[in-house]
Structure 1
Amino acid sequence: MKTRFIYPLVFLLISSLSFAQDYKERREKVKALKVAFITEKLELTTEEAQKFWPIYNAFDEKQAELRHEKMRAILNRFKPGNVENLSEKEASALLIQMEKIEEDLFSLRRKFIKDLQGVVSAKKIIKLKKAEEDFNRELLKQMREKRKG
């Protein structure tokens, strides 16, 4: 498909997401839009897409779990008054926990890239990082515009 046809479609769908929809449904729509966006940006062939998406989805799910775990650990400790009440030992333990999750995220990303190298070119892996950033930037832009309007 031509870019001039995909972009308006993708961003029309993003902008049509209603606040009344439940979170899971919105998340699934955003995920579908992300798949379309990345597939187009990487110019994945059918064969590449069949191999790429299972690897990407497994990575994305595990990454989301780790980030959620990290945020939960941090937020539980940083409720009002909790930081001041942390002992030095508790603060050290929290730092260790946060570092461990960051190391896990780094290891996960490293494995993901290694797994992708057998499926798509190095150039497409680089393009993937940019496509993810572009998609997230555009999604945030759409959300801000929706709040204003």
Structure 2
Amino acid sequence: MNIRKLLPILLLFSSFNFYAQSESMKEKKEQIKSLKVAFFTTELDLTTNEAEKFWPLYNTFDDKQFELRHQKMRAFMKRMRDGSLDRITEKEANNFLAQMEDTEEELYLLRKKFMQNLKVIFPAVKILKLRKAEEDFNRKLLQQYRNKGQKK
């Protein structure tokens, strides 16, 4: 592994101090985003031309995905946190299930459209590398979060 690939990975591991209590969620999201840019750029070995086309497309996809997961599921998550699921009616439960199914379908269609758009920019192998990079990044981020929680 050359230094060009090693440096962003080291940066990724050494700069996960963004979980400090004083930082806002927006700041954390921006820090994660910049770590993701460094990680993906290295893992995908993006050319300048590819990066210019890829990042606007990816950022739009990522923002829509975040909105779907967090904004549309807010009511359900609130019910789960406040412990009121034990008192939920069957009709309300069916409504939440339908909402979850709709959100999952929207996520699927969003990902499918994103993949179609990527095929114009990248060869199939690079698209597969992107999927792997996303999984690797999320796994490392989660591991770092877990490690941070154990130190407290």
TM-score, normalised by the number of residues in structure 2: 0.87
Residue 84 (structure 1) aligns with: 86
2:30 to 8, 28, 31: 28
Give the 5 Å matches for 1:63-102: 63-78=65-80, 79-80=82-83, 82-102=84-104
Q: CA RMSD, aligned part only?
A: 1.7
Tell me, what secondary structure is at the counterpart of 2:121?
coil
Structure 2 gaps of 5+ residues are: none
Question: Bigger shift: 24-33 or 98-107?
Answer: 24-33
Q: CA deviation at 1:137?
A: 1.2
Q: CA deviation at 1:30?
A: 1.2
Residue 50 (structure 2) aligns with: 48
Tell me, what secondary structure is at the counterpart of 2:46?
coil
Separation (CA, whole Å) in 1 of partners of 2:89 and 2:23: 43
Question: Bigger shift: 106-115 or 132-141?
Answer: 132-141
Asked if 1 retains the 8 angstrom alpha-carbon contact of 2:72 and 2:103, the reply is: yes
Residues 44-83 of structure 1 show CA distances to partners (whole Å, capped at 9, x for unaligned) of 1100000001110000000001101343131233332x32
Query: How many equivalent residue pairs?
Result: 147
Separation (CA, whole Å) in 2 of partners of 1:87 and 1:146: 39
Q: Given residue 7 of structure 2, which amino acid in structure 1 is its aligned partner?
A: F
Residues 6-57 of structure 1 show CA distances to partners (whole Å, capped at 9, x for unaligned) of 221222122x335133332222111101011011111111000000011100
Asked if 1 retains the 8 angstrom alpha-carbon contact of 2:79 and 2:85, the reply is: yes
Q: Given residue 17 of structure 1, which amino acid in structure 2 is its aligned partner?
A: F
- Between the two proteins, what is the percent identity of the paired residues? 48
Q: Given residue 56 of structure 1, which amino acid in structure 2 is its aligned partner?
A: Y
In structure 2, the CA distance between the partners of 1:33 and 1:85, relative to structure 1 (3 Å rule), is same
Residue 17 (structure 1) aligns with: 18
Separation (CA, whole Å) in 2 of partners of 1:40 and 1:116: 18
Structure 1 gaps of 5+ residues are: none
Tell me, what secondary structure is at the counterpart of 2:65?
helix
Residue 110 (structure 1) aligns with: 112
1:148 maps to 2:150: yes
Q: After the TM superposition, which segments of 4 or more aligned residues of structure 1 sit over 4 Å from their partners?
A: none
Q: CA deviation at 1:103?
A: 0.6
Residues 101-121 of structure 1 show CA distances to partners (whole Å, capped at 9, x for unaligned) of 111010000000001110111
Q: Given residue 122 of structure 2, which amino acid in structure 1 is its aligned partner?
A: V
Separation (CA, whole Å) in 2 of partners of 1:21 and 1:69: 21
